[in-house]
């Protein structure tokens, strides 16, 4: 336990892997926002939509997505002075991923004993919400058929992240992301009834 | 895995990277069927964007005022609690005027999970935290002669015996600052003065156990008494015993509590019990987690906690209240050290 703790803390967060794409536009905006928080507005404007959509895809209801999006930007703004990454988008979606994961965990009907007495949240689970939501139902119906780790990657891809950024968000190697992504798409190909095609014609 | 498999994975990876970066066509090397699956999947993605009202409201909450502080998470989740000492440059410790979701604005407290609560993660936090504490206590024992060592100053915290003690943190990270929980006994007494009573409780499990040495002590406090407990010299519990007849609004109670919490402590949830006679608030402090790990000798890089424990060390604050909701009797603060 102690060793695990030491190892995890010692390792720190995922360092942006070599080759992580720097986004000069974001970089300029981040530098400005670090000097003056009002200058965060362009970053907010740029990312509020993809972050919200990502939260909606994962949480299944507008209300939950709005709550999560609010948290993501509030946390990002609070942490911005300490921001040192090379990919603002990857950093921001790491926060989003954690917020959404927290929200989903919070909704599960399992809790530590210490918190058992205040598990009274009547909100529907993400799965329930997904079943009743109209928007994006077809996509969710597809994604729900993927294993969770593959689904996470596809959701982040749909949010517009590169493979390197996804690896950073999920704390996985890029190789692992490639493999899981490949399996996910292969499975989706079957679900979407895309016929195998001979390769090479487009080369 | 064959070389061909790896090649197909790489091609798909490049293909999707190109798509998210704005390319319109398929990567020539990508499997056409897989590329078509990706295209159809993206076409199915009809998740609507946020409505304009929400965008405006959130923007206003985040950026609407020049007075808006750095701890914008509090803007979403926390009631308006006064901030302990801070320098203007320490943006993350500033507090903001809570926006629409602030419970304080609703005028009444209700049993509710505040957005962002992470009850499941508490178990994971316990695992990490206990590990850090064990290391911390072992380290302290090693430096100070092991069992029976007196409550002692904590290395690294002696530089600033001011009211709110700050400690070095990893470069660029939120510093640990507290005038209560997480202090050494020496730091605490530098702030509140000498104790009026001290009682050694020893080590749970006996003198030979690895458990920390527990000391209880009482100190004078404004409008009451601090009854505190130290684990190997680390302040982990404060019971603020209010003088008889003292009643406080929740805002006033927060004003007493806030300085006793780490500066970055964020309110995660509130819940009422016993027909509202008890109010419990759950906080989390990331800086405290890092501080404990630092004291334990763990090498710390970066500013993010491991996944699943991003709220840091859990802290419970329990307010005893009268029927009318006024705080009376006692307020207890305890950081989660397990067991």
Using 50, 70 and 90 to split pLDDT, how confident is the model at A200? Answer: low
The answer to whether the CB atoms of A5 and B135 lie below 8 A apart is: yes
For the segment A53-91, what is each residue's pLDDT rounded down to a tens digit? 999 888 888 888 999 999 999 999 888 888 877 788 999
Q: Is A73 on the interface with B (CB under 8 A)?
A: yes
Cβ–Cβ < 8 Å for B192, B226: yes
What pLDDT score does B47 carry? Answer: 78
Identify which of A189, A184, A176, A167 has the alpha carbon closest to the alpha carbon of residue B6: A176
B337 compared with A167, residue with greater pLDDT: A167
- Asked if residue A130 belongs to a domain, the reply is yes
Mean pLDDT of chain A: 73
What pLDDT score does B85 carry? Answer: 26
Using 50, 70 and 90 to split pLDDT, how confident is the model at B27? Answer: low
- Asked if residue A202 belongs to a domain, the reply is no
**Residue B63 with chain A: CB contacts under 8 Å:** 37-38, 40-41, 44, 77
Element (H, E) at A186: helix A174-191
3-class SS shares of chain A: helix, strand, coil, % to 5: 70, 0, 30
Q: Stretch B265-270: mean pLDDT, rounded?
A: 84
Cα(A9)–Cα(A5) distance, integer angstroms? 6
Predicted confidence (pLDDT) at residue B127 exceeds the cutoff of 60:
no
Angle between helices A88-107 and A24-35 (to 10 degrees): 80
Q: What percent of chain B has pLDDT over 90?
A: 12
- Angle at B297 (CA atoms; ends B294, B299), nearest 5 degrees: 75
What pLDDT score does A154 carry? Answer: 93
* In chain A, residues 84-123 whose CB comes closer than 8 Å to chain B: 84, 94, 98-99, 101-103, 105-106, 108, 110-112, 114-115, 117-121
Q: In chain B, where does DSSP find H-type helix?
A: 3-20, 32-44, 52-63, 72-77, 103-106, 121-144, 185-192, 250-257, 286-295
CA distance to partner chain A, nearest, from residue B10 (Å) = 7
What pLDDT score does B205 carry? Answer: 66
Cα(B111)–Cα(B115) distance, integer angstroms? 13
Q: Is A193 on the interface with B (CB under 8 A)?
A: no
**Residue A105 with chain B: CB contacts under 8 Å:** 118-121
Residue B43 has a CB neighbour count (10 Å cut-off) of 9
Q: Stretch A89-109: mean pLDDT, rounded?
A: 84
For the segment B66-90, what is each residue's pLDDT rounded down to a tens digit? 433 333 332 222 222 222 222 223 2
Q: Out of B11-25, B90-104, B180-194, B277-291, give the one with best mean pLDDT.
A: B180-194
- Asked if residue A28 belongs to a domain, the reply is yes
Domain containing A25: what range? 21-109+125-191
The answer to whether the CB atoms of A44 and B134 lie below 8 A apart is: no
CATH of the domain at A145: 1.20.140
Give me B196's structure tokens.
């009026």
- Asked if residue A13 belongs to a domain, the reply is no
**Residue B317 with chain A: CB contacts under 8 Å:** none
**Residue A99 with chain B: CB contacts under 8 Å:** 116
Quick one: how many helices (H) and strands (E) in chain A? 10, 0
ipTM at complex level: 0.72
CA distance to partner chain B, nearest, from residue A160 (Å) = 5
Domain spans in chain B, listed from the N-terminal domain onward: 3-44, 60-106, 121-335
- Asked if residue A5 belongs to a domain, the reply is no
Nearest-by-Cβ selection for B12 from A3, A117, A182: A182
3-class SS shares of chain B: helix, strand, coil, % to 5: 30, 25, 45
Predicted confidence (pLDDT) at residue B217 exceeds the cutoff of 90:
yes
* In chain A, residues 3-42 whose CB comes closer than 8 Å to chain B: 3-6, 8-13, 15, 37-38, 40-41
Quick one: how many helices (H) and strands (E) in chain B? 9, 11
- Asked if residue A114 belongs to a domain, the reply is no
- Asked if residue A74 belongs to a domain, the reply is yes
CA distance to partner chain A, nearest, from residue B197 (Å) = 31
Using 50, 70 and 90 to split pLDDT, how confident is the model at A194? Answer: confident
Using 50, 70 and 90 to split pLDDT, how confident is the model at B337? Answer: low
Which of A5-19, A79-93, A166-180, B250-264 has the weakest average pLDDT? A5-19
Cβ–Cβ < 8 Å for B58, A70: yes
- Asked if residue A173 belongs to a domain, the reply is yes
The answer to whether the CB atoms of B115 and A105 lie below 8 A apart is: no
Nearest-by-Cβ selection for A52 from B29, B49, B116: B49
Predicted confidence (pLDDT) at residue B140 exceeds the cutoff of 80:
no
- Going by the DSSP 8-state scheme, the letter that residue A46 receives in this structure is H
A contact test, residue of B1, B62, B176 with most A CBs within 10 A: B62
What pLDDT score does B280 carry? Answer: 85
Using 50, 70 and 90 to split pLDDT, how confident is the model at B169? Answer: low
CA distances from B136 to A152, B143, B208, B228 (A): 36, 11, 17, 20
For the segment A125-158, what is each residue's pLDDT rounded down to a tens digit? 444 444 444 445 677 778 888 888 999 999 999 9
Q: How many domains does chain A have?
A: 1
What number of C-beta contacts closer than 8 Å exist between A and B?
A: 270
Predicted confidence (pLDDT) at residue B1 exceeds the cutoff of 70:
no
Predicted confidence (pLDDT) at residue B309 exceeds the cutoff of 60:
no
Cα(A111)–Cα(A78) distance, integer angstroms? 28
**At B338, is the secondary structure helix, strand, or coil?**
coil
Predicted confidence (pLDDT) at residue B228 exceeds the cutoff of 90:
yes
Residue A189 has a CB neighbour count (10 Å cut-off) of 21
What pLDDT score does A141 carry? Answer: 79
């Amino acid at each position: 336990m102690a060793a695990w703790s030491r190892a995890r803390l010692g390792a720190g967060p995922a360092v942006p892997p070599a080759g992580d794409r720097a986004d000069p536009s974001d970089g300029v905006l981040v530098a400005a926002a670090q000097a003056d928080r009002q200058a965060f507005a362009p970053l907010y404007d740029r990312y509020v939509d993809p972050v919200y959509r990502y939260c909606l895809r994962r949480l299944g209801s507008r209300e939950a997505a709005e709550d999560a999006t609010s948290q993501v930007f509030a946390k990002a703004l609070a942490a911005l002075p300490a921001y040192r990454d090379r990919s603002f988008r990857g950093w921001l979606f790491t926060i989003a991923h954690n917020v959404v994961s927290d929200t989903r965990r919070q909704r599960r009907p399992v809790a530590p004993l210490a918190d058992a007495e205040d598990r009274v949240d009547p909100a529907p689970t993400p799965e329930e919400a997904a079943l009743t939501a109209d928007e994006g139902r077809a996509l969710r119906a597809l994604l729900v058929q993927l294993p969770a780790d593959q689904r996470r990657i596809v959701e982040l891809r749909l949010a517009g992240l590169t493979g390197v950024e996804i690896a950073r968000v999920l704390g996985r190697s890029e190789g692992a992301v490639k493999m899981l992504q490949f399996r996910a798409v292969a499975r989706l190909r079957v679900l979407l009834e895309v016929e195998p095609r001979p390769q090479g014609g487009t080369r | 895995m064959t070389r061909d498999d790896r090649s197909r994975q790489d091609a798909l990876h490049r293909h999707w990277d190109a798509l998210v970066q704005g390319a319109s066509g398929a990567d020539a090397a990508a499997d056409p069927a897989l590329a078509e699956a990706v295209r159809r999947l993206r076409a199915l993605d009809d998740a609507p964007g946020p409505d304009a009202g929400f965008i405006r409201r959130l923007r206003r909450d985040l950026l609407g005022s020049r007075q808006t502080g750095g701890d914008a998470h509090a803007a979403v989740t926390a009631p308006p609690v006064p901030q302990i000492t801070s320098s203007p440059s320490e943006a993350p410790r500033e507090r903001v005027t809570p926006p629409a979701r602030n419970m304080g604005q609703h005028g009444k407290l209700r049993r509710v999970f505040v957005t962002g609560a992470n009850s499941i993660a508490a178990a994971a936090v316990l695992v990490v935290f206990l590990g850090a504490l064990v290391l911390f206590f072992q380290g302290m024992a090693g430096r100070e002669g092991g069992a029976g060592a007196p409550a002692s100053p904590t290395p690294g915290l002696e530089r600033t015996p001011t009211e709110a003690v700050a400690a070095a943190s990893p470069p660029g990270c939120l510093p640990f600052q507290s005038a209560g929980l997480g202090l050494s006994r020496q730091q605490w007494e530098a702030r509140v003065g000498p104790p009026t009573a001290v009682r050694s409780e020893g080590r749970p499990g006996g003198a030979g156990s690895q458990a920390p040495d527990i000391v209880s002590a009482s100190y004078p406090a404004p409008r009451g008494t601090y009854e505190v407990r130290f684990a190997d010299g680390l302040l982990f519990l404060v019971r603020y015993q209010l003088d008889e007849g003292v009643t406080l609004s929740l805002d006033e109670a927060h004003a007493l509590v806030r300085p006793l919490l780490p500066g970055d402590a964020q309110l995660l949830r509130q819940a009422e019990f016993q027909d509202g006679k008890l109010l419990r608030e759950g906080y989390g402090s990331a800086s405290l987690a890092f501080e404990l790990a630092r004291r334990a000798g763990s090498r710390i890089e970066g500013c993010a906690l491991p996944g699943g424990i991003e709220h840091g060390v859990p802290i419970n604050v329990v307010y005893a209240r009268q029927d009318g909701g006024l705080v009376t009797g006692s307020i207890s603060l305890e950081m989660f050290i397990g067991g």
